[in-house]
Structure 1
Amino acid sequence: MRAHRAPGAVSGHLAVANALADAARTATLAWFRRPALSADSKESDRFDPVTEGDRAAEDAMRALLARLRPQDGILGEERGSSQGSSGLTWILDPIDGTRGFLSGTPTWGVLIALADSQGPFLGIIDQPYIGERFTGAPGLAEVSGPMGTAPLATRAARPLSEAIIFTTFPEVGTPAEAEAFHRLAGQCRLLRYGMDCYAYALLAAGQIDLVVEAGLQTYDIAAPIAVIEAAGGIVTDWTGGPAHQGGRVIAAANATIHAEALKLLSLAGEP
């Protein structure tokens, strides 16, 4: 085991991660459901919003890291990347689900991950308004919130015909990706849209079976990978390979349903 993944080191990393999540809670809630909240678009051909809440949360987390972990690298959605000397990188998505944040729905979240050259090994999915925090790390998988603290565990295997599947956008990605996704979703009992990172938290908590998306960035998926894997689930790309670079992603509650879903998604062809 690498030294930074050992229990003593992980405990220290978790303390930093929780401090980051606390800072982001304060920063995001200062803007959530406020009449003055507005959004700029990152792209000219479609609405890809960013708000003052996004920027404030990432700035607050970066300020803490500059003080607590100046030797580590950072990759953030809003402020880009900075190199470190430790071999560790904090991956920050200050508001995953900015469309939901802007709309006032409590389904967005703050994503915090810590990764080494092998990928993310510690992650937090935090929902500030509800007050839920889903945490995954070596030897730890738990959720804390209004109902107390409880262990996280993904669902046991069951037929695809009984599965609940989530994605964020009905379009999913390219026409070929959408066709493959809807072929899979058509075999499931229930399809739901629009939960952003909260869908991955629900999978880790044992509520649903699959989350399938395309066109993701590293900061969209790094924290969910760590949380879901700690809870016993599987996250890969649509070919079964590593997913921590983003792109096409499937998160599954167990190996059985993951294998069934991959058979249908593999028909999408090459990206």
Structure 2
Amino acid sequence: MNLSDDITLAAHLADIAGSVIRPLFRSDFEQSRKADRSPVTAADRSTEAAMRAILEAERPDDGIIGEEYGKHNESAGRQWVLDPIDGTISFMAGRPIFGTLIALMQDGWPVLGVIDQPVARERWVGQIGGGTTFNGAPVTTASCRELAEAKLATSSPHYFGADQAEAYMRVAAAVGGNERQGMIVYGGDCYNYGLLASGHIDIVCEAGLEVYDYAALVPVVEGAGGTMSDWQGNPLDADSNGDVLALGDPARLDDVLEAMG
């Protein structure tokens, strides 16, 4: 599958997104709550609107799935998936560890993904079967001989339900070789997956994600040599339930699943 034109377009979308987000970062911006009480800002909405306008002009036959403005042409085999600011709370708090997520799915399977951190100007671009780059240079995930050596990340333990929290805590107890603390990073949202693709983190464990939260992450992680799955080890597609594991070393997947119980 030749995705070169799509990669160029995705990079353009990320450039436009960054030009909208940067002037609003650590400034006065409109903010409110959605129906589910999650926060949303003018930056979220303006950024997605700008990307959608380009896609509707450049790829009129493709579909769009966006966090802020929903679905467009949802019967199309090719779907662009947009999360303008993944990590809105971090954006609101002035922490530059949020990111813009851009994915292309073919028949429900993620094939191209971008994680863009517009303030630090850090960008991961991945494609299934085609590698992953960080600011244009190829990157690979790290090997990990055993869970006791692993560095684990999650955005927040508060996102887990009771059963999920128990499974997560069993993994947390297995990593880092330190029963009191382990080697665990909290916060980071999509940024953690970029760090995993670059070999700095070994495992990311999260629950309750939507397709716009994870579609772009799959090609970035897997293009760098890692693996992504649900909590049963199944590959992620448009219909996955949003319970997500990312591993830099695919050989550790069975170990993580066993630890989760």
TM-score grouping bracket, smaller chain normalisation: over 0.9
In 1, Cα distance between the equivalents of 2:75 and 2:59? 10
CA distance in 1, matches of 2:134, 2:231: 28
Aligned to 1:79: 69
Q: Percent identity?
A: 42
- Which digits, 9 at most, give the CA deviation of each residue in 1:221-241, with x for residues without a partner? 000111001001000000011
SS in 2 for 1:186: helix
TM-score (norm 2): 0.93
Q: Are 1:210 and 2:203 matched, yes or no?
A: yes
TM-score (norm 1): 0.89
Q: What letter corresponds to residue 155 of structure 1 in structure 2? A: A
Residues 152-189 of structure 1, C-alpha deviation per residue, up to 9 Å, x if partnerless? 10111321001000001122411110011011111111
1:41 corresponds, among 33, 36, 51, to 33
Quick one: distance in 1 between partners of 2:159 and 2:172? 12
Counterpart of 2:124 in structure 1: which amino acid?
F
Q: Which residue among 2, 6, 16 is the counterpart of 1:13?
A: 6
Structure 2 regions of 5+ residues with no counterpart? Answer: 177-182
Q: Aligned partners of 1:210 and 1:133: how far apart in 2?
A: 20
Structure 2 residue 253 is the aligned partner of structure 1 residue 263: no
Counterpart code for 1:224: L
2:179 matched residue in structure 1: none
- Of 190, 195, 203 in structure 2, the residue corresponding to residue 197 of structure 1 is 190
Tell me if the contact between 1:166 and 1:192 (Cα under 8 Å) persists in the aligned partners.
Answer: yes
2:220 aligns to what SS in structure 1? Answer: helix
In structure 1, the residue matched to 2:180 is none
* Cα distance change on mapping 1:264 and 1:172 into 2, 3 Å: farther
- Does the CA-based 8 Å contact 1:221-1:246 persist in structure 2? no
Question: 1:81-230, aligned counterparts within 5 Å?
Answer: 81-83=71-73, 86-137=76-127, 138-144=129-135, 149-189=136-176, 190-230=183-223
Q: CA RMSD of the aligned region, Å?
A: 1.4
Question: Which of 217, 230, 247 is 1:252 aligned to?
Answer: 247
Distance in structure 2 (CA, Å) of the matches to 1:140 and 1:160:
25
CA distance in 2, matches of 1:119, 1:188: 30
One-letter code of the match for 1:139? G
Structure 1: which 5+ runs fail to align? none
Q: 4+ residue stretches of structure 1 with deviation over 3 A?
A: none
When the two structures are aligned, how many residues end up with a matched partner?
252
Instruction: Specify the code of the residue in structure 1 equivalent to 2:172.
Output: A
